[in-house]
Amino acid sequence: MHAMTVFYTIIQQLVNGLILGSFYSLVALGYSMVYGIIKLLNFAHGDIYMVGAFVGFGALGIFGNALGIGWLGITVALVISMVLVGFLGIVIHRIAYQPLLNKNAPRMSLLITAVGVSFTLFNAVMVMTSGEYKAFTTSLGYDGISIGPINITYTQIIMVVATAVLMLGLYWFINRTMYGKAMRAIALDQDACRLMGINVTKTISLTFFVGSALAAAAGVMAGVYYGSIHFYMGFIIGLKAFTAAVIGGIGSIPGAMLGGLILGLLETAGTQLPFVGSAWKDVFTFGILILLLVTKPTGILGKSEIERM
Amino acid sequence: MNDLALVLQNVETFYGKIHALKGVSLEVPKGKIVTLLGSNGAGKTTTLKTISGLIQASAGKIEFYGRDISKEKAHNIVSMGLIHVPEGRRIFKDLSVKENLELGGFTLKDESLRRKRIEHVFEMFPRLKDRQKQIGGTLSGGEQQMLAIGRAMMTDPKLLLLDEPSMGLAPLIVQDIMRIIKQLNSEGTTILLVEQNAKIALKLADYGYVLETGELVMEGDSTELRKDERITKAYLGE
């Protein structure tokens, strides 16, 4: 291949990988935050992303007439989805997890309720949508910036910027606000937090709200980007985002961001490499990840303490 | 009006099936230092945890300035002005010194008040000011105890429960900590002090109780307790 062609391909794939990685990162954050604070692998989190996509789809359907199905309508739908799905996260926490936490239940029981919540969400949406694909129709075109054969659409640019804004917002919240600091403190010592006057249950609920809202944002953006949604879309991304969270170091917020981006970039790189291609991309990606974890079992930014599940 | 900061009446607490407190009654008058002595496993820490709401009492009454708090949640009790500095200090090891203090003032609604209280703690412990950006876990044992006390002082508590502040500290540092406790008390803070080190506790306190396997077996002015043969034999090692 000509050197310039290789260069163009790399840039183009970098952009594609960044988009995919953004979705993984946003979902991985919720995984990591919830794990950090209550040591629960919230296997329903991928389905939260899926529900987010459908709520955004529904909101766009309702407000699309008035606001249009361009960026204004999409932004409104995104915000509505983030808020509603955030509250769904709180409801799930209060009904399915907190009662077990109150009784000091074994972690394995929590894990099973999480699987139960996953099936519940998944089947509910399947029934409501008759298991059909829904076209996530928007008026966004393929306009963008072209440099030689490289084509980056405005949609792609806005998605990456939106993800960056959400992550910076989260970073600010976690490090600068009292409730953000309380979240980090709860991950370290719950009883000590009670002695500071922190309402631990409420703060855990808030964590579910934030994590679910971020997953919902990713769901809506994925719907807009790929143009169609279905009840099954959360399953694979749930697993991959979980992987991303572990790669980054589960419990670490910058780790989840980094892990998602690395996973997205590896996957897109895999499709382009000779001898790999799209059929083998997962083998390639997970092969590298296994190597990475074997070398650093706690993940890239994870702390070297022994965690029990 | 009310001279008693804290009153416990026949408080009973269970740890699962273990009857940890078997009817404990004690009083902490406002402005005083009262100490609770006893050997390992006597129920001293359980008593404090029951007062601060980390464990629920199964029977009895806990009154904080006349108000029954035995059914209150821990975080609500903090808002009332009762602060518990737990055994082992329990500072947030991955957070900075300043963030630890800020969390101590979590219940303060006003950001400027929180800043003012931090300045106050820094005046009390200049060493914490020098290390405010440092991660809590990197502090020495004595500094961690200062941070734990400083964190508790963020809300200007009406009653301070201190659980073994001398634990694991070098004798010189223990003296420092005891001086600080004395100073806090002379500035008006009421204190219930749990200690294994009866010698220093009785030097500080106005009044003392002795706990044995979940029951109070002795009480009195600390000057009397210091002379009591049973105390000197069992706890002062003389």
Q: 3-state SS string over chain B?
A: CCCEEEEEEEEEEEECCEEEEEEEEEEEECCCEEEEECCCCCCHHHHHHHHHCCCCCCEEEEEECCEECCCCCHHHHHHCCEEEECCCCCCCCCCEHHHHHHHHCCCCCCHHHHHHHHHHHHHHCHHHHHCCCCEHHHCCHHHHHHHHHHHHHCCCCCEEEEECCCCCCCHHHHHHHHHHHHHHHHCCCEEEEEECCHHHHHHHCCEEEEEECCEEEEEEEHHHHHHCHHHHHHCCCC
Report the pLDDT averaged over residues B65-83: 96
Q: Is residue B46 part of a domain?
A: yes
Domain containing residue A270: CATH number:
1.10.3470
Contact yes or no for B125/B146 (Cβ under 8 A): yes
% of chain A residues with pLDDT over 70: 98
HSE, CB side, 13 Å, CA atoms: give it for residue B195.
25
Q: What pLDDT score does B236 carry? A: 65
Cα B201 from Cα B178, distance rounded (Å):
9
**pLDDT, greater one: A263 or B229:** A263
Query: Cα angle at B72 between B66 and B77, to 5 degrees?
Result: 70
- Which candidate, A179, A190, A196, places its Cα nearest to that of B155? A196
Residue B79's alpha-carbon distances to A181, A208, B69, B106, in angstroms, are 18, 25, 12, 9
The verdict on a CB contact (< 8 Å) between B75 and A189 is: no
Q: Is residue A21 part of a domain?
A: yes
Contact yes or no for A256/A31 (Cβ under 8 A): yes
Nearest by CB to B86, from A182, A185, A195: name it: A195
Maximum C-alpha span of chain A: 65
Q: What pLDDT score does B49 carry? A: 97
Q: Is residue A65 part of a domain?
A: yes
Residue-wise pLDDT tens digits, A191-206: 999 999 999 999 999 9
Q: Is residue B106 part of a domain?
A: no
**pLDDT, greater one: B238 or B168:** B168
Q: Is residue A305 part of a domain?
A: no
Q: Is residue A75 part of a domain?
A: yes
Q: What pLDDT score does B57 carry? A: 95
Q: What is the mean pLDDT of chain B?
A: 93
- Which candidate, A90, A97, A98, places its Cα nearest to that of A43? A97
Residue A188: list chain B partners with CB under 8 A. 92-95
**pLDDT > 70? residue A139:** yes
What's the start-to-end Cα distance of chain B, in Å?
42
Q: Is residue B36 part of a domain?
A: yes
Q: What pLDDT score does A309 carry? A: 35
CA A69 to chain centre: 24
With tokens 């300035």, the residue in question is B65
Q: Is residue A306 part of a domain?
A: no
Q: Is residue B152 part of a domain?
A: no
**pLDDT > 70? residue A159:** yes
| Residue range(s) defining the domain that contains residue A32 | 3-295
**pLDDT, greater one: A68 or A195:** A195
Q: Is residue B73 part of a domain?
A: yes
- Count of Cβ atoms closer than 10 Å to residue B18 Cβ: 10
- Over the Cα atoms of chain A, what is R_g? 20
CA A61 to chain centre: 23
Q: Is residue A303 part of a domain?
A: no
- The two beta strands, B159-163 and B190-195, are parallel
Residue-wise pLDDT tens digits, A222-254: 999 999 999 999 999 999 999 999 999 998 999
User: A197 CB contacts (<8 Å, ≥6 apart)?
Assistant: B75, B76, B78, B79, B106, B107, B155
Predicted confidence band of residue A8 (pLDDT cuts 50, 70, 90): confident
Nearest by CB to B78, from A181, A184, A197: name it: A197
Which helix (H) or strand (E) is A122 found in, with range? helix A107-128
Maximum C-alpha span of chain B: 52
Residues of B near A (Cβ–Cβ under 8 Å) read 52-54, 73-76, 78-79, 83-86, 90-95, 99, 102-104, 106-107, 151, 155
Nearest by CB to A197, from B79, B86, B99: name it: B79
**pLDDT > 50? residue A306:** no
Contact yes or no for A238/A4 (Cβ under 8 A): no
**pLDDT > 90? residue B233:** no
**pLDDT > 80? residue A182:** yes
Task: Compare all CA atoms of chain B with the CA of A189 and give the residue at the minimum distance.
Answer: B92
Residue B102: list chain A partners with CB under 8 A. 178, 181
Report the pLDDT averaged over residues B17-26: 93
Tokens in use for B142?
């004595």
- The counts of H helices and E strands in chain A are 12, 4
Q: What is the three-class DSSP state of A100?
A: helix
**Phi and psi, residue A50, nearest 5°:** -65, -45
* DSSP conformation letters of A240-305: HHHHHHHHH-TT-HHHHHHHHHHHHHHHHHHHHSTTTHHHHHHHHHHHHHHHHHHH-TT-SS--S-
Q: What is the three-class DSSP state of A200?
A: helix
Q: What is the three-class DSSP state of A196?
A: coil
| Count of domains forming chain A | 1
Q: Is residue A304 part of a domain?
A: no
Residue A204: list chain B partners with CB under 8 A. none
- Which candidate, B151, B161, B150, places its Cα nearest to that of B83? B161
Residue A205: list chain B partners with CB under 8 A. none
Which helix (H) or strand (E) is A233 found in, with range? helix A233-248
| Count of domains forming chain B | 1
Q: What is the mean pLDDT of chain A?
A: 92
ipTM of the complex: 0.93
- Which candidate, A44, A54, A24, A27, places its Cα nearest to that of A131? A54
Q: What pLDDT score does B178 carry? A: 94
Q: What pLDDT score does A282 carry? A: 84
CA A23 to chain centre: 6
| Residue range(s) defining the domain that contains residue B183 | 4-92+158-234
Report the pLDDT averaged over residues A39-64: 95
Q: What pLDDT score does A200 carry? A: 97
The verdict on a CB contact (< 8 Å) between B75 and A191 is: no
Q: Is residue B98 part of a domain?
A: no
Report the pLDDT averaged over residues B138-152: 95
Nearest by CB to B106, from A188, A189, A197: name it: A197
**pLDDT, greater one: A68 or B121:** B121
Mutate to test the interface with A, among B49, B82, B96, B103 (most CBs of A within 10 A): B103
**Phi and psi, residue B83, nearest 5°:** -120, 135
**pLDDT > 60? residue A50:** yes
Report the pLDDT averaged over residues A132-158: 89
Number of residues written out for chain A? 309
- Count of Cβ atoms closer than 10 Å to residue A65 Cβ: 10
Tokens in use for A174?
């976690």
Domain containing residue B226: CATH number:
3.40.50.300
Q: What pLDDT score does A224 carry? A: 95
In eight-state DSSP terms, residue A229 is: E
Residue B172 distance to chain A (closest CA, Å)? 27
Cα B45 from Cα B13, distance rounded (Å):
12
% of chain A residues with pLDDT over 90: 74
Q: Is residue A243 part of a domain?
A: yes
Q: What pLDDT score does A133 carry? A: 94
The verdict on a CB contact (< 8 Å) between A196 and B106 is: yes
**pLDDT, greater one: A296 or A51:** A51
